Amino acid sequence: MSKKVPADSTQIGSGILCVLHQALNRLLNDDDEALRNGASEIIGKALGVASPICRDRADELWCNWVAGYISTLDSEHSKPWVDWLQAQADEIKYGEDGITPSSTTPLAPIQPGGTTLFTVEPANLFRDPQADARKAKAILEAVNMPSS
């Protein structure tokens, strides 16, 4: 059995790479279609896919890459990745009313006769916390790190 080793010191550090992938994942799930398409293109090109890919395919390829990358790291260097994925997986809690996002932000009420043209809304309506939690759990299971 081969021993897992940290990322090569000539490459970008695992922690920094994790932060970059968190940003890429947020772009892949942004409510702006142009940003989602750009993130999909980045993933496709980085993984050597010749033709353009849709967001769902990019997400699938990204998940497979992350699971493969984490499995090459020792526990110290995989910790930021596992912590981040664990937080994603734990974002959905199971309550009496079924599955509810733990970070649900209700919309501000509209005041009759008020001067507000638009209501305040969460920053990203495209994001699906349940899908993020399922994806994170699948990656954690793929690297034999069960979510809590």
* Residue-by-residue pLDDT tens, the chain, 148 positions: 444 544 454 456 878 888 899 999 989 888 888 999 999 999 999 999 988 899 889 999 999 999 999 999 988 889 999 999 998 888 766 544 445 544 444 545 555 566 655 555 555 556 677 778 888 888 888 888 766 6
Query: Distance between CA 30 and CA 127 in Å, rounded?
Result: 7
E-strand stretches of 12-89: none
Furthest-apart CA pair in the chain: how many Å?
70
Which amino acid is residue 62, in one-letter code? W
Contact 77, 14 (CB under 8 A): yes
Q: What is the pTM of this model?
A: 0.66
Phi, psi of 50 (to 5 degrees): -70, -40
113 conformational bin, left if phi > 0, alpha if psi -120 to 50, beta if neither: left
Residues in the chain: 148
Q: Give one word for 19, left, alpha or beta, with left for phi > 0 and alpha for psi -120 to 50.
A: alpha
In this prediction, residue 90 carries a pLDDT of 84
What is the domain partition of the chain in residue ranges?
14-142
**Interior CA angle at 139 toward 65 and 93, to 5°?**
145
Query: How many angstroms separate the CA atoms of 146 and 73, rounded?
Result: 17
**Is 60 in contact with 101 (CB distance < 8 Å)?**
no
Query: Given this model, what pLDDT does residue 67 score?
Result: 93
Q: Are 58 and 49 in contact (CB under 8 A)?
A: no
